[in-house]
Amino acid sequence: MAETTKEMKVVFERPHALLPVVTNYCPGCTHGIVNRLVAEVIDELGVEGKTVGIAPVGCSVMAYDFFACDMIEAAHGRAPAVATAVKRVHPDNVVFAYQGDGDLASIGMAETVHAATRGENITVIFINNAIYGMTGGQMAPTSLPNQITQTSPYGRDVSKAGYPVRVCELLSTLDGVAYLERVTVDTPKSVRNAKKAIRKAFDTQIAKKGYSLVEVVSTCPTNWGLTPSEAFAWMRENMLPYYPLGVYKDVVADGYANAAEAALDRAKDCPLVVPSEEGSNS
């Protein structure tokens, strides 16, 4: 009797950089997808042992228990400052901050802008779902005009509450930034694209090209009061026109080696920025 050999092939498994734990994310939440994409990228790059992640305050506050790399829980909004220092202490570590819209674009806006303009070699993963999820659905800095939330019960009135912050557009003006892309994860295709962007952001950091951020336009079925598929539909209909997907800055695609070189070229008419060859500033 001939032996039959069955070839078993692994087609799907948990990334090593994600721990086998139950997350606190709601059903249909996109955090789970993005956590996984980050972990897959860490696996692919083989950098788990030298990666330090910074978790925010928000729905992903417990992310320090989900990732297998070393993790730090930061105060609300302060992840970029914490990440800055970790990277300064260990410049060869891979350091990422994982932040939501309230954390990154409201209470932590100063830290966000300044880490970016300093050109810190860190990667920020930014989840924009236009609402404060963990505290139960309040207006976020990225909530859309007329969007109803617990603290904008009649819809966000821009005459009183002002306009949403468009993070990629805002950061794209800063010289320290090497790479910015806005993606989403509503379809398998967009998930693959989001992973490419996250990979590129990590590559940018590892090559020490400057600050990198990937904004993931996301959903919050629980606080939006929609099913997961309805939430994606609402997102596509309302959020994507306000937050168009795409690459907002890529210094390498623009023909520069890194953010520093691009910054130098942009300001080439300023003699202080571009010192003369023989001039010394002693």
Partner 1 sequence: MCAHVPRCGHYGGEVEDMAEKVLMKGNEALAESAMRAGCRFFFGYPITPQTELAAYMAKRMPYVGGTYLQAESEIAAINMVYGAAAAGARVMTSSSSPGVSLKSEGISYMAGADLPGLIINVQRGGPGLGGIQPSQSDYWQATRAMGHGDFHCIVFAPSTVQEMCDLAYGAFDIADKYRNPVMILADGMLGQMMEPVELPKMIDPKTLPEKDWATTGHGDKREHNVINSLYLTADHLEKLNQARFEKYARVEAEEQRSESYLCDDADIIVVAFGASSRVARSAVNTAREQGIKVGLFRPITLWPFPKVALEETCSHAKAYLSVEMNMGQMIDDVKLVVAGRAPVEFYGRTGGVIPTPNEVLTKIKEMQASLIGKAGE
- Identity of the residue numbered 192: R
Contacts of 213 (CB under 8 A, 6+ apart): 116, 123, 124, 125, 126, 167, 168, 171, 177, 179, 180, 201
Residues 218-247 within binding reach of partner 1 (CB under 8 A): none
> Of the candidates 67, 132, 243, 256, which one interacts with partner 1 according to CB under 8 A?
67
65 binding partner 1? (CB under 8 A): yes
Residue 281 near partner 1 by CB under 8 A? yes
Min. distance of Cβ 135 from partner 1 in angstroms?
14
Among 42, 52, 191, 245, binds partner 1 (CB under 8 A): 52
Contact between 31 and partner 1 by CB under 8 A: the answer reads: no
- Neighbour-count burial of 65, counting CB atoms closer than 10 A to its CB (0-12 exposed, 13-18 middle, 19+ buried): middle
Q: Which residue has 């087609």 as its token pair?
A: 11
Q: Smallest distance from the beta carbon of 10 to partner 1, in angstroms?
A: 21
Minimum gap (Å) between residue 193 Cβ and partner 1: 29
CB atoms within 10 A of CB 139: 23
167 binds partner 1 (CB under 8 A): no
Q: Counting contacts by CB under 8 A, is residue 276 touching partner 1? A: no
Beta bridge partners of 249: 180
Of these, 14, 49, 192, 267, which contacts partner 1 (CB under 8 A)? 49
- With CB under 8 A as the contact rule, the residue among 14, 21, 90, 163 that binds partner 1 is 90
- Give least dist CB 96 to partner 1, A: 12
Candidate segments 63-71, 165-173, 206-214, 231-239, binder of partner 1 by CB under 8 A: 63-71
**In the complex, least distance from residue 112 CB atom to partner 1, rounded to whole angstroms:** 10
Distance in Å, CB of 25 to partner 1, minimum: 15
Query: What's the rounded Cα separation, in Å, for the pair 27 and 159?
Result: 35
The residue within the footprint of partner 1, chosen from 14, 88, 192, 268 (CB under 8 A), is 88
The interface region with partner 1, picked from 107-115, 143-151, 203-211, 235-243 by CB under 8 A, is 107-115
Using the rule CB under 8 A, is 169 a contact of partner 1?
Answer: no
Burial category of 261 from C-beta neighbours within 10 Å (exposed 0-12, middle 13-18, buried 19 and up)? middle
Tell me: does residue 84 bind partner 1 (CB under 8 A): yes
Among 59, 69, 198, 201, which residue interacts with partner 1 (rule: CB under 8 A)?
69
- Measured CA to CA, the distance from residue 88 to residue 82 in angstroms comes to 10
Residues near partner 1, by CB under 8 A: 19, 48-52, 54, 61-62, 64-65, 67-75, 78, 81-86, 88-90, 93-94, 110-111, 113-114, 281-282
